[in-house]
Structure 1
C-alpha cells in the first residue's frame, strides 16, 4: 500500500480538527473583541515602539487584526467543505440502483407522454440525456447514472409507445363503460328476479284461494247430501260421476228445482243428476184426482 494512501485518513482527521479549532478560536476572539468594544473588559495591552516613537494602541490593533484574520479564515470553510464533499462522493461513487430507477422512471414517463420525438438510437439517447440533465429532481445525480437511465429508456421505447398515456386512458374509459353496462344489466336482472318472485307468490296465493273455494264447495255438497234426505229428497246420478266443481254445480240446480220436477218438460231436466222423491209424496197435479 502506498504511504500517501495510508496517511490520507490521518490527514483528513487533522484537517477536520484544525477547522474546528480555528472556528472556536475565531468565535472566542470575536466575543472578546466585542466585549472590549463595549467596555466590558480592557483591550489587549502590548508595549511596542516604532524607533523612538511609542505605539500605545498596538495591543488593540493586534487584537482586532487577529479577530478579523480568524473570521476571514472561517469564511473559506464552506468552499473547502464543498470540495471535500465532491472528493468524497467521487471517491466513494457507486452506481446505485435506486438512483438509476428514479432517473429511468422519469425518462420512461416522459416517453409515454410523447416528449421524445427523435427516432435514431444515438439521437434518442442524447435527447433523453439532455432532458434528464435539465430535470429539477435529478440535478444531483452523476452523469453515468443519467447515461444508463437514458439508454434504458431508449431500449424500452416500444413499451412506452404501446402503453402510452393516450392508449392507457382510452383503455380505462372503455373498461369503465363496460363496467357501467354490466352494473346496469345487473340492475335489470335484479328487477326481473323481483318481478318473477312476485309472480310466483301471486300464483301461490291464487292456487291457495282456488283450493279453499274447492274445499268450500265440497263441504257444501256434503251438507246438501246430508240435508236433502231428511227433507224427503235424494240425489241420483244419471251419468258417470264427476269430481270437482262441475259435479257440485250439477247438484245444486237439482236441489233447487226439486218441487217443480213434475211440471218441467224432459228438456228442462238436468242432464247429469235428478232428484228422486219417495213414493208417499204425490205430485201437485195428482192431488185433486186422489181426493
Structure 2
C-alpha cells in the first residue's frame, strides 16, 4: 500500500510540475505580448487607481502591469534549469542498469583503448582514467556514474585484447593482406601468360610433327615408285658377252673403272670404241637418275 501511495504521489507531482511549467511559460509570453501591444497603442493599459492613506488616488495600472510582466518574463529564465532538474529526477526514479547503456559506454572506452588513449599501468589508475574519459565523452553525458564505472572496469579487463587488435596492428594486417592479394593477382597474370606460351608451343610442335609425318610418307611413297622404276632401267637386255653383261648390271661402278679392271677400253678396234662410248652414256644417265 505504501508503494502504491508513493507511486501516486510521484505521479501527481510529475503532473503538477508540468502544469506549472506550462502556466509560467504561458503567463510570461502572454503578458510580454500584451505589454508590447499596449505600448504601441493597440490595446489599453491596465487601469488601477491606488491610494495610500489620505493621499489622492493615483493611476498605477501601467506600473503594476509592467511589474507583473517583468516578473513573469524573469521567471521564464528559470524554466530551462527546472527542466533539467525534472529530467534528472525522472531518470533517477526510472534508473536501472541496462546492458545497452553499458555496451555503449564500453564500446567508446574500448575504441579509445585501441587507439592508444589510455597509458596508465596500474589497475586503479587505469580504471580512474577510463572513468574520467567516459565522463567527459560528449555522447555519454546522460549515463549514470555506476554505468560508467562498470564500463571502465570491463574496458580494463579487455585491455590486452585492445592492444592485440589495436588500430595500428589492424592497419598493418590489412596492408599485408592487400600486398598478398596484389602478389596473387600478378602471379595469376604471369600464369596466364605462361599458359598461353605453352599452348602456342604445343600447337607448334603438333603442327611440325604432322608436317614431318606427311614429308616422311611422301618420301616413302617416292622410294616405292623409284624401286618400281629403277629395275626396269638397270636390267635391260644386252647381247654383249657374259663379262660385259655383268658390267652393265653393276651400275654403281663407273665405266672408266671397269675398263681399267678389264684393260684398255679400245681393244678390238673402232667397233669396240663405239660400243664403249654408248655404254658410257647409258651408265651416266642411269647414275644421274639414281642420284636424283
Instruction: Tell me the TM-score normalized by structure 1.
Output: 0.71
What is the SS of the residue equivalent to 1:138? coil
Per-residue CA deviations over 1:5-61 (Å, capped at 9, x if unaligned) read 322212221221232233223322222221111111221223333334334432222
Aligned to 2:93: 91
Q: Which structure is higher in helix share?
A: 2
1:225–1:235 contact (8 Å) kept in structure 2: no
Aligned to 2:36: 34
C-alpha displacement of 1:220: 5.1
- Change in CA separation of 1:268 and 1:108 when aligned onto 2, cut-off 3 Å: farther
Partners in 2 of 1:48 and 1:130 — Cα distance? 61
Per-residue CA deviations over 1:70-101 (Å, capped at 9, x if unaligned) read 22222222111111001011111122323222
What is the SS of the residue equivalent to 1:16? helix
Deviation >6 Å, runs of 4+: 222-226
What is the root-mean-square deviation of aligned Cα atoms in Å? 3.3
- Change in CA separation of 1:9 and 1:179 when aligned onto 2, cut-off 3 Å: same
Partners in 2 of 1:15 and 1:136 — Cα distance? 29
What is the SS of the residue equivalent to 1:54? coil
**Candidates 188, 191, 196, aligned match of 1:189:** 191
Aligned to 2:102: 100
C-alpha displacement of 1:193: 1.1
- Change in CA separation of 1:96 and 1:69 when aligned onto 2, cut-off 3 Å: same
Per-residue CA deviations over 1:104-138 (Å, capped at 9, x if unaligned) read 22222333333333333223222222232233333
What is the SS of the residue equivalent to 2:142? coil
- Change in CA separation of 1:23 and 1:128 when aligned onto 2, cut-off 3 Å: closer
1:132–1:146 contact (8 Å) kept in structure 2: yes
- Change in CA separation of 1:18 and 1:168 when aligned onto 2, cut-off 3 Å: closer
> Aligned pair count?
247
C-alpha displacement of 1:265: 5.3
Aligned to 1:178: 180
Residues 15-26 of structure 1 aligned to structure 2 (within 5 Å): 15-26=17-28
Q: 5+ residue gaps in structure 2?
A: 236-246, 256-274, 281-292
Partners in 2 of 1:130 and 1:62 — Cα distance? 52
Q: Does 1:143 align with 2:121?
A: no
Q: 5+ residue gaps in structure 1?
A: 237-260, 270-281, 287-291
- Change in CA separation of 1:175 and 1:29 when aligned onto 2, cut-off 3 Å: closer
Partners in 2 of 1:203 and 1:235 — Cα distance? 42
Per-residue CA deviations over 1:207-244 (Å, capped at 9, x if unaligned) read 23224434544665677688x59xx94689xxxxxxxx
- Change in CA separation of 1:145 and 1:4 when aligned onto 2, cut-off 3 Å: closer
2:35–2:69 contact (8 Å) kept in structure 1: yes
- Change in CA separation of 1:186 and 1:133 when aligned onto 2, cut-off 3 Å: same
